[in-house]
Structure 1
Amino acid sequence: MYEGTEAEIYDLVNEGRGKDYAGESRLVIDLIRTHRPDAASLLDVACGTGLHLGHFRTEFDRVAGLELSADMLDIARRRLPDVPFHLGDMRDFDLGDAKFDAVTCMFSSIGHMADVSELRAAMTCLARHTVPGGVAVIEPWWFPEAYHPGVAADVARTERRSVARVSHSSWHEGNTRMEVHYLVADADGGAHHFVETSIVSLFTRREYETAFDEASWTPTYVAGGPTGRGLFVGIRR
């Protein structure tokens, strides 16, 4: 997931879809400052190409990123060469003795945990890298009662590349099946099409809160958030 061409076009597609990284980052920073005004360090888990981190690093003295996709990390490292990035899985990563005042996980990446045991493992791993009293800001996927299958279509362009993204989401064994078709046209390489399919878990609010609690977090749910799916704010006990 998010390798090769998909990693290359990731920023262009999200720019075309109107994603507001600056506004999202400000919201997250304000939530962190509300609960820990003196926070000086932050780890962004599932950091992608580093666009949130580009804003976080202006606010915190020490930032780092963790990402499962090597190709996404390559882009992030080129964008932010002074920021340490780590290749790893949020369920079992180990940064040694490194601990942070805040951890973040945006863009509903937590929804890619396959079941509640993986969700709990991820929250435990985040807790292990957070100081007592530290803050986690996690953007969930939809709760089951709020999810509605549907379609979306977007087009993004630069001078030498055009990308059309068409998606279809549907119920699949109680979760979301997301099928995304990309048509990419490059001035030098011609046009090609590829498909990315993923399953995103529809955890209940209670399942999220239980995973937080069992991993030594005290959670609060904040409705709305950057995409309407809300945000969980956890305080490390």
Structure 2
Amino acid sequence: MSSNALYTDLSGYYDLMCADIDYQSQSNFVRRIHQIFGNQGRDYLDLACGTGPHVHHFINYGYQASGLDINQPMLDIAKQRNPDANFILHDMSNFKVEESLDLITCFLYSIHYNANIEKLSECIASAHAALKPEGVLCFNSVAKNKIDNRSFVKHAAEHEGSQFSFQSGWNYCGEGEQQHLLLKIEKTTDGVTEIWDDKHPMVAVDFNQLTALLEPYFDVHMFEHDYEKITPLEASSGNAIVVCVKK
């Protein structure tokens, strides 16, 4: 099963896959970041928004919020949950907006869903063009040279009488501009288990490469991947929250 087919077929289980994610803390962190670095505007777009949990929180903060994703079933759920928000079916690498924005986010490492370095560069340029002066682009990223292929995260959930087990981890072969998100899902119903194994291709960069792509457009600030406090990135860290202020 291809990655896109799996993503589509399991869109109804997306929230189960992400059940252990603290969307509130992530949104609170970015709101603080925007208050510190931003232009104090309230026009907001979430790239790769999925079912819209971050959009929901930013609406509650008083933002004019919108979301963009390539998956229509995800957007259908997002719109049902956030009827006042605008949702766009589009690829994040070459998007345009009708009205300029103050804040753009891309949570859950989704910036890596750009297919290659060229597409990532296009995404950065698109975000820059969409932002107002001193607008902020904020996303999280993993450095390809810091990936441990042996490391996985796993959690379980129950839904409509079925038990689910979700396991995911990064994989990088050690060279080139492609890494993968390895995903394994087990669904057990009445003692019968179905298993999906999937391999999502994603663009691979180290933080030096990423900074070089961003700096023509933005003043770049790199922080530790900690949503509870704002801490400058240490040289040994492989996960970062990247804050970009439009030049």
User: How would you bin the TM-score normalised by the shorter chain?
Assistant: 0.7 to 0.9
1:166-205 paired onto structure 2 within 5 Å = 166-167=167-168, 169-172=170-173, 174=175, 175-185=178-188, 192-205=194-207
Residue 172 of structure 1 aligns to a residue in which SS?
coil
Q: What number of residue pairs does the alignment pair up?
A: 230
1:5-24 paired onto structure 2 within 5 Å = 5-15=9-19, 18-24=20-26
Structure 2 residue 41 is matched with structure 1 residue 39: yes
Give, in whole Å, the separation in 1 of the partners of 2:107 and 2:68: 12
Question: Quick one: percent identity of the two aligned structures?
Answer: 20
Higher deviation after alignment, 158-167 or 60-69? 158-167
Give, in whole Å, the separation in 1 of the partners of 2:170 and 2:103: 32
Give, in whole Å, the separation in 2 of the partners of 1:156 and 1:23: 21
1:109-128 paired onto structure 2 within 5 Å = 109-128=110-129
Query: Structure 1 residue 177: deviation in Å?
Result: 2.7
Query: Structure 1 residue 74: deviation in Å?
Result: 1.1
Give, in whole Å, the separation in 2 of the partners of 1:185 and 1:53: 32
Provide, for residues 172-203 of structure 1, a one-character-per-residue CA deviation record: whole Å limited to 9, x for no partner. 3634333212122457xx75332321123331
Superposition misfits of 4+ residues, deviation over 6 angstroms: none
Instruction: State the AA in 1 paired with 2:179.
Output: T
CA distance 1:3–1:171, shift in 2 (3 Å): closer
Of the three residues 57, 60, 74, the one matched with 1:72 is 74
Gaps of 5+ in 2: 229-237
Output the TM-score relative to the length of structure 2. Answer: 0.85
Instruction: State the AA in 2 paired with 1:78.
Output: Q
Instruction: State the AA in 1 paired with 2:187.
Output: V
Higher deviation after alignment, 74-83 or 168-177? 168-177
Give, in whole Å, the separation in 1 of the partners of 2:73 and 2:99: 24
Give, in whole Å, the separation in 1 of the partners of 2:169 and 2:138: 28
Output the TM-score relative to the length of structure 1. Answer: 0.88
Provide, for residues 23-71 of structure 1, a one-character-per-residue CA deviation record: whole Å limited to 9, x for no partner. 1100011001111262211111111110011111112331110011111
Query: Structure 1 residue 153: deviation in Å?
Result: 2.8
Give, in whole Å, the separation in 2 of the partners of 1:113 and 1:35: 26
2:29 aligned residue: 27
Gaps of 5+ in 1: none
Give, in whole Å, the separation in 1 of the partners of 2:188 and 2:80: 24
CA distance 1:172–1:98, shift in 2 (3 Å): same
Residue 75 of structure 1 aligns to a residue in which SS?
helix
Of the three residues 200, 206, 230, the one matched with 2:240 is 230
Instruction: State the AA in 2 paired with 1:4.
Output: T
- RMSD after superposition: 2.2
Query: Structure 1 residue 126: deviation in Å?
Result: 0.8
Do the aligned partners of 1:134 and 1:235 also contact (CA within 8 Å) in 2? yes
Do the aligned partners of 1:47 and 1:105 also contact (CA within 8 Å) in 2? yes
